[in-house]
Chains A and B, each alone.
Chain A
Amino acid sequence: MKKYTALILGTVLALASPAFAEGEHSHAGKHGGKIVETGHHHMEIVAKDGSLEVYLAHEDGDAEDVKDAKAKATILSEGQKQEIELVPDPANFLKGTGTFKAAKGTTIVVTLTMPGHKPEQARIKLD
């Protein structure tokens, strides 16, 4: 019976420990962009003149598969608004191109819909 007791103890400890380890998310963008938490995901938005890349990660930091994601970005740059579609890239990120400038004050709102989920939004202002 001793070995079962040990087994039970092990199971309980294994059960108890990992659940408490969450928190402490890293906010440094791996791709040089800004990270926004959207509730379920961490969205890293990399804006350059004319192109926008969005990297998606789970709360625990693992990259999320974006091949079925639907995403759109609304960009307000120097008083001009434009909407661009973001399409999944084979390298597992979402990408879109437009004619905007990634200048200071440019505001970007990314609306993302993962299959079977409610839409999520992230808003950044470049500085």
Chain B
Amino acid sequence: MFRTTITLFAIFVLTISAAWAGPGHDHGDEGPAPVTNAAPRLESVGSTMELVAISEGHRLIMYLDHPDTSEPIEGASIEVSGEGIPVALAKPVEPGTYELEADWVDQPGAKALVFTITTKTDADLLNGTWSVPEAGHAAPSDGAATPLVQILTRPDILTMLAGALALGFVLAFALRARSRQKIGRDDDDAPTTKASATKSIHLRSAAELILIAALVGFAIASPALAGPGHDHGDGGHDEAPAAAGGITPRKLPGGGVFVPKSTQRLLGLRTTPAATASSARTRELIGTVVPDPSSFGQVQAPMDGQIEVSERGISYAGQKVQAGEVLALLSPSIPVADLGTMQQLRAEVDGKLIIAEQKLDRLTRIASVVAKSQIDDTKAELAALREQKRVLEPKDTQKIALKAPVSGIISVANVRAGQVVTARDTLFEIVDPEKLWVEGIGDAGHGEGAIMAAQALDGEGHSLKLSYVGRSPTLRQQATPFLFRIEDSHPELVIGSPVKVFAQSDSTTQGIELPLAAVVRGNNGIPQVWIKESPERFRPAEVKTQPLDGERLLVLAGIKPGDRVVTSAAELINQIR
């Protein structure tokens, strides 16, 4: 019967243990996982200010920031007061950092502090409890370590203990009653064995009581310490976590990170509250910088010949030229066959010229007997022959000037002095760097709407404003070329350089606009943003994004409006291990 009782009791005990260990039994502090800090730390958040206080010896260092943007608040006056603490004004040490030197800062004990903060435009009251651990103890930080006394004084544990006591009493009473009854029975049967029987029964009872007590003890001890947030053991005695310190950024168990204010200041961390906006649907195209067709000129050799230096030398790539400017001279070369024909013609003209001269000479001498018309004809013939001779003079000295067709900068110059070129050789190319276009290659998707606006991002990260020129109706390599004019070109932009084109159509999508730098890649490759949960805690959130332009993107899912998203130094927070 005893055994049955004990077995039953053991089952009950285990049932209680299981029930206690269930979810929801978290009597640690509400909120995120605790951060073990060696030094006391205080956080207080108002609607327009957030304050984090830490200590360095006697000095209380306060960081004052805007809760939404994380910008340091400069020029504030912070008055610190509290029970048994002289009212004192903190002095600014750095923008947004204030300092107060007082003896109470490192004196053990808990002090309720009130911070009266006044800025030029705003005033607020912030508060917090400043707990300095007793010497020789690690910090009682956020319920990470729970001393045994604290566990025992918790109401649930007290209830448990009281219950166990009552139960123990009831059991002891029950067992005692039974043993007396049994002894009574033994009395009648054999008085000689009375003493030994009594002794053995007492022993059995005692053993069972000890067993029950042990089970009860176990039942109390195990669930009470099993709850999350009760890291029993490394609280008051273990020095290692305390040495880890509270001023280094680190990863928290939940995947978030702890970034102390000092580090945030160093990284220039800023946040912005997410707000839903309606933005044009955008798609990204691969683009190349091309010259504007109307300000792109080529100089080709009109005929075979040899390049000669013009008065101002031969033009070179990078030279600025005006339309009509002579870039080089071309002296045409005459084929050998043509040369022979010309020499033959020249000899013939020479001969005719001599005959005509002699004829004129004769006629002039007998002018009185010949008709005046005959002399005039011969004179005309002579003049014609002289003109023929002049035309047939060797052409070696005649040169063709190669002129710039458009104004701009010479981008290609394939010309050397003395170089022999053939007709149609491209000698120069001239472009106007102020007038450049971008050719974007994309698929001619259906239902994407007309392109209303576009931006481009070049390799150096410059954003270029584009205006849409048109689209070729012909597929080129399975893609459609889109042409855009660059509205605000910059001198570093070169033809042929690759750019990313963001073309916005007239249809819109809803989402949260964020700067490109806010979205970083998580360990698993999924894009994520960092969200500020409290002044020094940040958590990652995976997001679905869509391109918007060269500087911003649109988050379609993953964060809620009002979430404070880290917009600068997100990449650095992402690196915290």
Contacts and interface: CB of A to CB of B under 8 A. Distances in A.
A126 B274 CA distance: 26
A79 B46 contact: no
Contacts of B129: 118-121
A16 B16 contact: yes
A35 B513 CA distance: 37
B357 to A, nearest CB: 118
Interface in B58-102: 79, 81-83
A9 interface: yes
Contact of B166 (A1, A11, A113, A123): A11
A72 B83 contact: yes
Contact of B16 (A12, A74, A107, A111): A12
Nearest to A111: B112
B302 interface: no
Interface string A85-107: 00000000000000000000001
Contacts of A109: 114, 125-127
A119 B15 contact: no
Contacts of A20: 19, 24
Nearest to A75: B125
B1 A1 contact: yes
B163 A111 contact: no
Contacts of B126: 109, 123
A8 B12 contact: yes
Interface size class of A (residues with CB under 8 A): 20 to 34
Could you say which of A14, A16, A72, A120 has the most chain B C-beta atoms within 10 Å of its C-beta?
A: A16
B15 A76 contact: no
B524 interface: no
A14 B156 CA distance: 13
Interface stretch (B167-175, B311-319, B325-333, B525-533): B167-175
A81 B5 CA distance: 67
B81 A15 contact: no
B80 to A, nearest CB: 11
A111 B114 contact: yes
Contacts of A113: 83, 112
Contacts of A15: 16, 159-160, 163-164, 167
A79 B170 contact: no
B110 A111 contact: no
A32 interface: no
B112 A119 contact: yes
B378 interface: no
A25 B345 CA distance: 121
B81 A83 contact: yes
Nearest to A13: B12
B46 A125 contact: yes
Interface stretch (B116-124, B258-266, B396-404, B538-546): B116-124
Given A15-B159, A111-B112, A125-B47, A76 B127 contact: no
Interface residues of B, number: 44
Contacts of A108: 125
Nearest to B115: A109
B4 interface: yes
B163 A74 contact: no
A7 interface: yes
Interface string A1-29: 10011011101101110111001000000
Contacts of B47: 125
Interface in A33-65: none
A88 to B, nearest CB: 17
B160 A81 contact: no
A83 B1 CA distance: 69
Contact of B116 (A5, A76, A111): A76
B9 interface: yes
Contacts of A12: 12-13, 15-16, 163, 167
A121 B112 CA distance: 7
A120 B112 CA distance: 7
B111 interface: yes
B327 to A, nearest CB: 75
Nearest to B12: A12
Contact of B83 (A9, A75, A119): A119
Given A1-B5, A120-B112, A121-B128, A8 B46 contact: no
A4 B127 contact: no
Contacts of A111: 82-83, 112, 114, 127
B81 A14 contact: no
B421 to A, nearest CB: 83
Contacts of B159: 15, 18-19
Given A16-B19, A123-B125, A11 B110 contact: no
Given A15-B159, A15-B163, A72-B83, A119 B111 contact: yes
A30 B224 CA distance: 34
Contact of A8 (B20, B79, B83, B167): B167
B110 A4 contact: no
B8 interface: yes
Nearest to A113: B83
Interface string B153-164: 000100110011
Interface in B158-215: 159-160, 163-164, 166-167, 170-171, 174, 178
A16 B160 CA distance: 8
Interface string B451-470: 00000000000000000000
Nearest to B131: A118
Nearest to B1: A1
A81 B125 CA distance: 9
11 contacts: A8-B9, A8-B171, A9-B12, A15-B167, A20-B19, A72-B83, A74-B127, A109-B126, A111-B112, A123-B46, A125-B47
